Amino acid sequence: MPTTPTPRSYASGTSDVPLLGDTIGENLDRAVRAFPEREALVDRPTGRRWTYAELAADVDALALGLLDLGIAKGDRIGIWAPNCAEWALTQYATAKLGAILVTVNPAYRAHELEYVLNQAGIRLLVAAERFRTSDYAAMIDEVRPRCTGLERVVLIGGPAWDEVLAAGRRADPAALAEREGELAPDDPINIQYTSGTTGFPKGATLSHHNILNNGYFVGELLDYTEQDRICVPVPFYHCFGMVMGNLAAISHGACTVIPAPSFDPGATLAAVAAERCTSLYGVPTMFIAELADPDFPRYDLTSLRTGIMAGSPCPSEVMKEVIERMGMAGVAICYGMTETSPVSTQTRADDSVERRVSTVGRVGPHLEVKVIDPATGRTVPRGEPGELCTRGYSVMLGYWNEPERTAEAVDTAHWMHTGDLAVMDDDGYLAITGRIKDMVIRGGENLYPREIEEFLHTHPDILDVQVIGVPDPKYGEELMAWIRMREGAEPLTAETVRAYCTGRLAHVKIPRYVHVVEEFPMTVTGKIRKVEMREAALRILGL
């Protein structure tokens, strides 16, 4: 008898809930009408609070003030600041105007700022005056002579900011209504620069339809309602904060809580406790820091029921602690990338703990995913590794003014090629096994750092670990583990790590080199920068 062929690694997300056909401004106005007196935004560092009615008044004033400055539909407005209420106001105001918000990484230095200002053609820049050691105003002054398209700078909290708001409050609201009538959901509304490992970053261009629907459906799978209060310690400049945070909130009438300008574990835990937050976001390194906070037992986290862990693979031990010690029984793993608005797959509330620690869930509503052989482009059978691709409403419009780089990422059938290695099981759940470029080929054998990291996380003295490949004259590549130790633990060596692994891990998967560090190099969003680790390893090992 003929055997039944193994199903292909393809899945599509069905849903009884239709896609939203709104612009972001229309969706915000709908929430304001439904929940005018409910709290919409809490800025903990300054103690300020907005109901939905108050938020709408300030958003409209800012939009009208920018309109008074001559901002046209499609003009690019940059925002360069850590998390603050003004960041969210600017996000919603630009959406109501049809201006394209260009989110500038708060960690950028002058040369990176100059590139983005010119590449995106930013006409007006909203910026913090300074933050920590970064003097934003000075860097803007430094690059401004070389950024001829930049006409105006508005520093948050400064005289220019106050003037824009004051002008907006004096203006005729009919002018904003007229502008909003000219907008369409498929208009570009956001450019986010992805941190490239080589060369300059690329500006992923996203529409109202892209990001509003992604925020909405992520919130739907978390069972959000107007009763939810979402603590957002992840950066607004990235999709995690402004889409999964702000847009998931407004599309459900929920409240966004800003715990601090940038991530601070104590401030985050304090915000959850004081504001009775029901949901908490973070990348694994953030949750690790919160769990390790010496004051952790003092905080009442009993209001938490759910949240999102995303940005990088979550070690299973960390996930178990988040569920058991933080009470986040409904916490979801989300997987995505900036170019897909960002979420493509997500675990569900009724998924077992095992599903949530071993996979990134199933495809989201109204989306498609497949796993292909990178060499041939053919969809592989379920259970076999390959490159993950996704298609649907979430895929970006393209990289701003870079059609060739867009064509490299999005094929002619509109599939976004993620560059991530994945395996799809029989039930459609996906496990991310690493990046194509992170895979280590040792003596002709493919080794996946994620698997080795998961094992090393079981060592009682290891707080966090990252595994990379380094050049080797005999095997082509060898494994190196970068390790962060738990407080008070003796630093591990290559010998002690080998002793721990021997008999429990295949010998080819045991790291040859071990490097103990206080912190990993990472982006402002908390993603590990393995490219920097590989560069540093060459110096450390003298290779």
pLDDT at 39: 98
What's residue 531's pLDDT?
87
* Among 339, 386, 345, CA closest to 363: 345
Q: Is the pLDDT of residue 316 over 60?
A: yes
537 and 414 within one domain = no
150 and 209 assigned to the same domain: yes
Same-domain check for residues 133 and 167: yes
- Say what the pLDDT of residue 525 is: 65
Residues 206 and 353 in one domain: yes
User: Residue 1: inside a domain, yes or no?
Assistant: no
pLDDT at 476 over 90: no
* Tokens encoding 112: 């990176």
The string of DSSP letters for 61-101 reads HHHHHHHHTTPPTT-EEEEE-SS-HHHHHHHHHHHHHT-EE
Per-residue pLDDT tens digits for 400-440: 999 999 999 999 999 999 999 999 999 999 998 878 878 78
Q: Which two tokens stand for residue 1?
A: 């008898």
Do 78 and 162 contact (CB within 8 A), yes or no?
A: no
Q: Where are the beta strands (DSSP E) in 347-475?
A: 362-363, 367-372, 386-392, 398-399, 416-424, 430-435, 440-442, 445-447, 462-472
How far is the C-alpha of 39 from the C-alpha of 261, rounded, in Å? 20
**Where residue 508 falls among pLDDT bands split at 50, 70, 90?**
confident
Task: Provide the pLDDT for residue 354.
Answer: 87
Give residue 134's pLDDT: 92
Identify whether residues 332 and 219 lie together within a single domain: yes
- For residues 288 and 143, state if they share a domain: yes
Mean pLDDT of all residues in 508-532: 88
Residue 2 located in a structural domain: no
Is the residue at 360 inside a domain?
A: yes
Question: Are the C-beta atoms of 333 and 347 separated by less than 8 Å?
Answer: yes
- Where is pLDDT greater, at 316 or 197? 316
Please list, in sequence order, all residues whose beta carbon lies within 8 angstroms of the beta carbon of residue 452, skipping any fewer than 6 positions away.
Answer: 467, 479, 481, 505, 509, 511
How much is the pLDDT for 152? 98
> What residue numbers bound the domain in which 222 lies?
24-424
Model pLDDT, residue 198 = 45
* 210 and 159 part of one domain: yes
In the chain, what percentage of residues exceed pLDDT 90? 83
- pLDDT one-digit tens code per residue, 193-207: 986 544 678 999 999
Interval 501-510 mean pLDDT: 88
Residue-level pLDDT at 199: 60
**pLDDT value at position 197?**
42
Domain boundary among 377, 395, 424: 424
Q: What is the CATH number of the domain that holds 537?
A: 3.30.300.30
- What value does the mean pLDDT take over residues 268-275? 98
> Does the residue 9 lie in any domain?
no
Using DSSP bridges, classify how beta strands 48-51 and 39-43 pair: parallel, antiparallel or unpaired. antiparallel
Q: What is the model's pLDDT at position 2?
A: 57
335 and 461 belong to one structural domain:
no
* Arithmetic mean of pLDDT, 133-155: 97
pLDDT of residue 454: 86
Domain count, the chain: 2
In this structure, of 44-48, 102-106, 440-444, 490-494, the range with the lowest mean pLDDT score is 440-444
Element (DSSP H or E) covering residue 120: helix 110-120
Kindly state the average pLDDT of the residues 176-194.
Answer: 97
CA distance linking residue 439 with residue 354, whole number of Å? 25
Mean pLDDT score, 165-186: 98
Q: Which CATH number goes with the domain that contains 305?
A: 3.40.50.12780
Judge whether residue 526 has pLDDT over 80: no
Of 424, 459, 494, the position where a domain reaches its end is: 424
- Please check whether residue 4 lies inside any domain of the structure: no
Check pLDDT > 70 for residue 149.
yes
> What is the per-residue pLDDT across 214-242, written as a single tens digit (0 to 9) for each?
999 999 999 999 999 999 999 999 999 99
User: At which of 424, 457, 474 does a domain end?
Assistant: 424
Average pLDDT estimate for 328-336: 95
Mean pLDDT of the chain: 94
